[in-house]
Amino acid sequence: MKLIIVLFTLVLFIQCSESRHTGWFPQNLVDAFTNKTSQITNYVRSKGRSLKQFYVENVRNKITTYLGYNNQTESEDRIDNQARVKRKFKSYVESAQANEKKLFDVIAPKKLEYSCDDNDPSIHMSTPQLIAFHGYPSESHTIVTEDGYILTIHRIPHSRNGKRQNIPRKTVLLHHGLLGSSADWVLAGPEKGLAYILSEAGYDVWLANVRGNTYSRAHLTLNIDTFEFWNFTFHEVSQYDLPAVIDYIMDNKGWDTKINYIGHSMGTTILFALLSTKTHYNKILRAGFALAPVAFMTDIKSPIHLLARYSNNLEYLLKLLGANEFLPQNAVLRWLSKHACEINHYEEAICENSMFVLCGHDERQFNRSLLPIILGHVPAGASTKTLIHYAQEIRNSGRFQQFDYGKESNLKEYGTITPPEYPLHKITLPIALLSSENDWLASDVDVTNLYVQLANPIEHYIVPLKEFNHIDFLWAVDAPKLVFEKLLQLLEEGVTKPFFNINSH
């Protein structure tokens, strides 16, 4: 009986703490439950027991059963999970709408009572510090783009084994996705992080950072707090950032250098946008390898598609999401301190926010002990306009095109009523796509549609594990076996296959 009361209290408490900002719940009731929870906490502590253990032993299993996440068949479980996350996200959107708040203020309300346990020093380390922490050499390079953004990119020039320093190394450029940074490739550590694995395999590894993320928050003339600074989407990233980074590497290593490009998520979108518009980069790069590729977005399971129906109402969306930076740092910190704590209590349902809401969550492949460090580095910053651009891709299903300002403004901006499509047929670089079936952002249909449009496809590899999702490409427990092994093999041999150039006339 006691247990049921505890359980009921906790479930209510969780619900209260999430919906307190909506104001419909009587505040005194909230206080009473909060008080109840702290009483339980004190009780458990006074008995000299670990709260975590008490929670796991006595409550978690009950909640799991109560909410019905217990052993069902795998796929039912997954569909269930997706539906649950969608419902939750939808309720966030509705609540933000009703209260005229920004979406992420609703997900992470300002008032927090938690302070966080962050013992692991790597949570606060920058990418170069993480690289050095694991015993690898690291470099930082600062690059100014043609339109004045100041980017800092990172590099692991050679492996831990210093003896082979002088042997020329093949070059690889890793590009993170939306909300990510160079840290994405190193935070899983030397055994699992792709940057280290490539370094050990003999590559000179460069790690890009886009404008607006943790390492690239500066401009020659614009202040970071202005809309002008954040007035960009993946289009500008593809037209200015990526060329600047590639040119810089060529300047640094010599113009006969052949760069292998590996992108994840938005890191693939910008590659397709670059190669179809500034076509000479098809000759400069050696090959492209697209992890969880995103170009067409017709078949999206991510709740981001809920934003799609508002995507022609720019004013509304900018208000909902915040005009400048999507998920600004203070919201992130609030979110972080809230969720890292709750996650310490193993309440996994709660970590289905933000990144996990947008991208899905694969319990089997997710290494929980990475969570605090992931939360320490992700989200790393992105413009709201980029998110809206993606939402537009979903609405205009089947068109991979530039930002839509509405008919009149399009006419001014582009000289046409509809935004120009990216002419994918102009891409002649050999490209391999690596995708998975449970990817909420890059579905089978869309990736296949992309693949058939490539003039020089290397291979379309589908990860042989049904649950594998969008962010598993970065951090899955089995990513080295399921993805990186194949990637290394393609890097070594993929491009030597004969290919024809349909654009040569």
Ligand X SMILES: *[C@@H]1O[C@H](CO)[C@@H](O)[C@H](O)[C@H]1NC(C)=O
Per CB under 6 A, which region of 223-231, 304-312, 374-382, 492-500 contacts ligand X? Answer: 223-231
Rounded Cα distance, 399 and 441, in Å: 15
Q: Which of 146, 228, 492, 493 binds ligand X (CB under 6 A)?
A: 228
Residue 310, classed as helix, strand or coil, is coil
Find the DSSP H helices in 224-346: 227-230, 234-236, 242-253, 266-277, 281-284, 305-308, 314-321, 329-344
Query: Per rule CB under 6 A, is residue 221 in the interface with ligand X?
Result: no
CB of 227 to ligand X, least distance (A): 6
Query: Per rule CB under 6 A, is residue 63 in the interface with ligand X?
Result: no
Verify whether residue 134 is a known catalytic residue. Answer: no
CA angle at 384 for the pair 382 and 387, rounded to the nearest 5°: 85
Verify whether residue 154 is a known catalytic residue. Answer: no
Q: Which of 46, 47, 71, 162 binds ligand X (CB under 6 A)?
A: 71
Site string for ligand X, 448-477 (x = CB under 6 A): -----------------------------x
Query: Per rule CB under 6 A, is residue 231 in the interface with ligand X?
Result: yes
Query: Per rule CB under 6 A, is residue 370 in the interface with ligand X?
Result: yes
Q: Got the DSSP string for 26-77?
A: -HHHHHHHHHHHHHHHHHHHHTT--HHHHIIIIIIHHHHHHHT-SS--HHHH
Per CB under 6 A, which region of 72-80, 145-153, 225-233, 495-503 contacts ligand X? Answer: 225-233
Query: Per rule CB under 6 A, is residue 31 in the interface with ligand X?
Result: yes
Rounded Cα distance, 90 and 93, in Å: 5
CA angle at 475 for the pair 156 and 64, rounded to the nearest 5°: 160
Q: Which of 265, 311, 354, 436 is catalytic?
A: 265
Question: Quick one: which of 407, 142, 173 has its CA closest to 270?
Answer: 173
Query: Per rule CB under 6 A, is residue 367 in the interface with ligand X?
Result: yes
- Count the neighbouring beta carbons within 10 Å of the beta carbon of residue 258: 13
Cβ closest to ligand X, residue 15 vs residue 231: 231
Query: Per rule CB under 6 A, is residue 343 in the interface with ligand X?
Result: no
Rounded Cα distance, 107 and 239, in Å: 33
Rounded Cα distance, 32 and 54, in Å: 22
What are the phi and psi torsion angles at 477 (to 5°)? -55, -40
Amino acid making up residue 261: Y
How many residues of this chain bind ligand X (CB under 6 A)? 13
Cβ closest to ligand X, residue 35 vs residue 330: 35
Cβ closest to ligand X, residue 93 vs residue 318: 318
Site for ligand X in 382-421 (CB under 6 A): 413
C-alpha dihedral, 206 to 212 to 214 to 216, nearest 10°: 50
Cβ closest to ligand X, residue 90 vs residue 316: 316
Per CB under 6 A, which region of 123-131, 307-315, 353-361, 365-373 contacts ligand X? Answer: 365-373
Question: Quick one: which of 304, 318, 313 has its CA closest to 390?
Answer: 304
Site string for ligand X, 78-97 (x = CB under 6 A): --------------------
Q: Which residue has the tokens 């509809």?
A: 418
Distance of CA 91 to the CA centre of its chain: 22
Token pair of 311 as six digits: 């995507």
Site for ligand X in 158-197 (CB under 6 A): 189, 192
Site for ligand X in 107-136 (CB under 6 A): none
CB of 220 to ligand X, least distance (A): 15
Query: Per rule CB under 6 A, is residue 12 in the interface with ligand X?
Result: no
Per CB under 6 A, which region of 54-62, 205-213, 224-232, 339-347 contacts ligand X? Answer: 224-232
Site for ligand X in 473-492 (CB under 6 A): 477
Contact of 359 with 266, CB cutoff 8 Å: no
CB of 303 to ligand X, least distance (A): 26
Query: Per rule CB under 6 A, is residue 227 in the interface with ligand X?
Result: yes
Q: Which of 369, 452, 496, 504 binds ligand X (CB under 6 A)?
A: 369
Interacting residues with ligand X (CB under 6 A) = 31, 35, 71, 189, 192, 227-228, 231, 367, 369-370, 413, 477
**Residues involved in catalysis:** 265, 470
